[in-house]
Structure 1
Amino acid sequence: MFVPATSAIAIGERQARREGYTIGRALVISLLVLIALGGFMLRAYRLSAEGLSEDELNKLRAVEEYRRWGITSVNGEHPMLMKGILTFSVILAERWNRTQTVQAHPSLKIPTESALRLPGSILGALSAPLIFILTAELFGSGPALIAAALWAFDPTAIGFNRIAKEDTFFLFFFLLANIFWLRGQRAAETQTRDPEPFYWATAAAFGAMLASKYIPHFLAVSAGYYHAFQELPETRWRLGKRRWLLFFIVLGGVFLLCNPAILLPDTWREMRTFAEESRIGHDAYEFMGHLYHNQMSLWLKGVPWTFYYVFIGVKLPILTLLAFIVGLPALFTRRLGDGRLFVIFWLFFWFFPFTLLGGKFTRYFTVALPAVLIVAALGVETGARSIARRVTWLANRSTAVSSGIALVVISASLSAAIRVAPHYRLFTNALGGGMERAGSYFPHDEFYDASVRDVAGWIAVNAPRDVMVLSETPGLMAHYLSLAGRGDVRSRSLSDQGAVAQLKAGDLVIIARGRRYFSNEAISRYLSEEAVPAHTITLGAVPSAYIFVMEETTLQRLKGLGGPIR
């Protein structure tokens, strides 16, 4: 059971921890600027090195619909704030590409892939300063700088921010909202200024957060932290019924402003279809070489509950992982003060539901990763203090020890990111077998259709006219074949038994890593074990897709394999 200090005392403790931030303000700001710029450079490096994923193509189509028709319900199962920002980014990129500068220097042209991914990369880099401010409010500037740097240079965080999905946007506004929330607490407890503007800013940021992705239960992180102090008579941080009512009015108003498509009846139909799991296009998710049904409603019968714990174990740089292991027990000691309650609520309200739900993707972890890295930052300081206590000549040098350890941990993360760039999602630490095992744990999310563009490019050059191509991303394949001027090539689904029955000699079958399902397991296994690909596509040095040209003997065997394996 957690017993917080009185809110006023807790605020005083946090004021003391921020002392270093106040004294070294210029140095801290300089370091934050460097951290944010370094994080952005890593996120923007060769942003179009990988082709679009099927999910990102859906976002591109939504952008096209917005430009053609205005506000529509397309892709309506997701809020429209991110798609609106992507539309603006694509329009700016097109205008830039028409300038004389680009005409004279074609290498400066911004590809569509980059235009779609740039907003997430910017917000991902800007999340580092937000993580600093939030962590400084809770634990002081030392852990805050470490946490910010770990986020900026972590390969997994970079990889998440380089895909055009909603999670990065949700996280950005979640961090912003809770900075205002904690500042409102400080203002109320110290009575140094009016806390109300912070409450309304929090509500506005929460509105934008929910207009980025529908995860309303995450409001419970802030609400839980607030209510942890409400039974203490000394607490001055009390909103009351009137303020709470205004809080939700502001939240709802900003939500509608950023997501007006929610007012369209078709949007609700799209959301209902999604909630009924009718939009699930494939029947499995491959995790550590095994196939599992990937549906939220299956709970513990779906993707195993160990999914995200394995992810932490094999995807964090080893030193970051060790720091997290050291910091986790410290989180449950009173020495860290009331700030630990906020992080505990954050971890609980993410891990509890996402562990139990049967549908999982690694990108969902975007929202939990900063909390894990904050714990790792606390682990660095905890470890440093422990070392200083045990080594006589370091007894009064815990700050220097902490700085040294932090530099080593951050440098290791940066080194890992540089080594794996630009294919950050493939990073696998030594515990997971290193890069030799890259793509073997979570292949769907690690490859994320990154090679479809290259596969289509090979087909465009080498395939005869009017062939049929079977893959698990037929729409995405058709998109890139059309861009390559090969509209004659028919793109069909590998899971479509009717399409398999129509295969003829010379047609192509694509076996892409991360796109293995119950529905194509028999075909994938046979081709992988018995046939020789005409060409292999790699993502960096890692094989990612195999192109098979059908021969008569192969066709006879394929058509006799029957339906999906279960």
Structure 2
Amino acid sequence: MDTFAAPVPRAPGWSDESILPLSRVRAHTRAIALTMAVILAGSFRTMSLATYGFSDDEINKVNAIEAYRAGDFSANAEHPMLMKLAMWGSVTLVDAWNGAVGPAHRIPPETALRLPNALAGSATTAAIFGVTDLLFGTGAAVLAAVFWALDVNATATNRLGKEDTFLLLFFLLAVWCYERGKRRGAADPAAAQPWYATSGAMFGLMIASKYMAYYWALYGLFNVAADSSPGLNRPDKRRFYGSMALAFLAANFAILIPSTWRYLVGYVNGDTVTHHGYMFLHQLYVTDVPISTIGVPVGFYLYYLATKIPLVLLVAAAAGLIEAAKRRRERGFVFLRIMFVFLLLGYSLFAVKFVRYILPLLAVLDISAAVGMIAMFRWIRRLRLSPPATLAACSTLAGIIIVVLLSAQMAATPFYSFAENTVGAHVSAPGQSFPDDEFYDYGVREAVAAIAHAAGPGATIVSDVPEIVTYYVRAAGRADVRVRSLSQEGLPPRPAETWVIVQDGHVYFDNRDIVAQLRGSGPAWRQIHAREAVAVEIFRLPGT
């Protein structure tokens, strides 16, 4: 029976029978292929990072960095520290750079904040390669790395200043270290312990990136399912959990500060909630409870996959999942089944849903697609074509999917979140299905600049992203302009000159009536577009 696993030494059956020379490459060739994939990933993820102004979530990170500089590490405490520490370092380095160069060579603050995430997303290419190489062999690893590098939806999330990118990177590093330990421990359990301890540290850094121990538990479930009787080949609990705790506390020491816990208690009690609802397919849904039949529909992520993922990648991933269903006991396929089912099911059941939450599922799909491609190569081989014809058929198949993925990346640049597949393009225009996640506050910076230029002294700007507006009002030098929240405070009483910024992604139960009245009162003073889509509408209410 053929096997997909690739233990050390290399397993026969799967890797050694591959059609293409992907699985027989030497170490230096593997390194070259991986380096090229990482560079490819980095080129898309770091390009034009300042296209968007800061988002609502990112401006909280900007404020947290300022608080860190002042010695207050409890700011933005609903999220752990690791990513913010990386951002702080990036912003500090960019500040030093900008102070030493002329205006033409200065780096925008948006780029400085997002750069750590873009680099982490690029590094994830190597982590995916490593995990796939251990579980499925080098051929699948090369393909998975390339698929991730060209994954337009992963690129969109990696370019945001959000925790999901760091979460995935450290999860994959933890898996890679554990699987290395598992291989080493088959012959020498004692020699595997450093790998297991390092895996524990990576899990600690994962939780210090985002409070999602769910992934650690999910990987534990996988290990029970794949190897219920590991014998001596398992982690020493003291070293494993000790490494996890030390790494977590080192990268998230604010958890030890009493003010952090006071902040977290308030956060859990809803003290920081400023609006209610999420817009999906032109309809508002409840997000106030963990699980609800009136929350964002269970099919949210299935709709996303069906309309956003390039169809050729979906077909390849389906082929990989078919193999996973057939190969019940092999470790790699147990990993694919558990991760795919429990990530999709787990996130779908919660009332609160955001596109970025399923970034790890995108990695699983890319790995599955790589495995599916290798399976297709094997199916082609069974056709008993001549060797040149077989090689040509396999090369053409691989080339088609790579060209399609590359074309999707290039066509979406720099609005990667707008990418749609053929199905999505027929269902709705970009920005209409997931406005909050697709626009991600694009256009607010430009709207504030336009208002700052036109507004009279003492004018008021009303928006549901008041922190962003405040930041860019200060950047424009308009200290006289007041800012207020549309959902919390509503429109100010006349006679003040008022400017209202309206975004589809920030229409909530709290403000939808006011937004409807504004739109019904006449055309907007100005619209800010992301390509053909209207990202922001500006309404001017003159003073009396």
TM-score by length of 1: 0.89
Other-structure match for 2:19: none
Task: Tell whether the 8 Å contact from 1:478 to 1:487 is kept in structure 2 after alignment.
Answer: no
Q: CA 1:435–1:67 in structure 2 vs 1: closer, same or farther (change >3 Å)?
A: farther
Other-structure match for 2:85: 84
In structure 2, C-alpha distance between the alignment counterparts of 1:276 and 1:322, rounded to whole Å: 44
Task: Tell whether the 8 Å contact from 1:207 to 1:255 is kept in structure 2 after alignment.
Answer: yes
**2:299 maps to which of 291, 301, 306:** 306
Other-structure match for 2:354: 361
1:155 and 2:152 matched: yes
Other-structure match for 2:35: 33
* Secondary structure of 2:538 counterpart: strand
State which drifts further: 277-286 or 479-488: 277-286
**1:378 maps to which of 371, 382, 388:** 371
* Secondary structure of 1:366 counterpart: helix
* Secondary structure of 2:291 counterpart: helix
Write out per-residue CA displacement over residues 195-227 of structure 1, whole angstroms, 9 at most, x where no aligned residue: 111111101111111111111121123212322
Other-structure match for 1:73: 74
Q: CA 1:40–1:324 in structure 2 vs 1: closer, same or farther (change >3 Å)?
A: same
Q: CA 1:486–1:10 in structure 2 vs 1: closer, same or farther (change >3 Å)?
A: same
RMSD of the TM alignment (CA)? Answer: 2.6
Q: Identity rate of aligned residues, in percent?
A: 33
Other-structure match for 2:97: 96
1:351 and 2:353 matched: no
TM-score by length of 2: 0.92
Amino acid at match of 1:152: A
In structure 2, C-alpha distance between the alignment counterparts of 1:203 and 1:396, rounded to whole Å: 47
Task: Tell whether the 8 Å contact from 1:8 to 1:189 is kept in structure 2 after alignment.
Answer: no
* Secondary structure of 2:191 counterpart: coil
In structure 1, C-alpha distance between the alignment counterparts of 2:365 and 2:503, rounded to whole Å: 32
* Pairing 1:21-60 to 2, within 5 Å after superposition: 21=23, 23-60=25-62
* Secondary structure of 1:510 counterpart: strand
* Pairing 1:78-477 to 2, within 5 Å after superposition: 78-99=79-100, 102-103=101-102, 106-191=103-188, 194-232=191-229, 235=230, 238-239=233-234, 243-334=236-327, 337-390=330-383, 392-393=384-385, 400-433=392-425, 437-477=429-469
Task: Tell whether the 8 Å contact from 1:330 to 1:336 is kept in structure 2 after alignment.
Answer: no
Amino acid at match of 1:60: V
State which drifts further: 179-188 or 484-493: 484-493
Q: CA 1:61–1:505 in structure 2 vs 1: closer, same or farther (change >3 Å)?
A: closer
State which drifts further: 12-21 or 269-278: 12-21
Task: Tell whether the 8 Å contact from 2:82 to 2:209 is kept in structure 1 after alignment.
Answer: yes
In structure 1, C-alpha distance between the alignment counterparts of 2:379 and 2:387, rounded to whole Å: 10
Aligned residues: 538
Task: Tell whether the 8 Å contact from 2:186 to 2:233 is kept in structure 1 after alignment.
Answer: no
Task: Tell whether the 8 Å contact from 1:177 to 1:201 is kept in structure 2 after alignment.
Answer: yes
In structure 2, C-alpha distance between the alignment counterparts of 1:283 and 1:400, rounded to whole Å: 55
Task: Tell whether the 8 Å contact from 2:328 to 2:334 is kept in structure 1 after alignment.
Answer: no
* Secondary structure of 2:462 counterpart: strand
Q: CA 1:223–1:314 in structure 2 vs 1: closer, same or farther (change >3 Å)?
A: same
- Name structure 2 gaps, 5 residues minimum: 17-21
Q: CA 1:407–1:316 in structure 2 vs 1: closer, same or farther (change >3 Å)?
A: same
Write out per-residue CA displacement over residues 61-82 of structure 1, whole angstroms, 9 at most, x where no aligned residue: 111111121x521111111111
Task: Tell whether the 8 Å contact from 1:139 to 1:336 is kept in structure 2 after alignment.
Answer: no
1:517 and 2:519 matched: no
**1:537 maps to which of 519, 525, 528:** 528
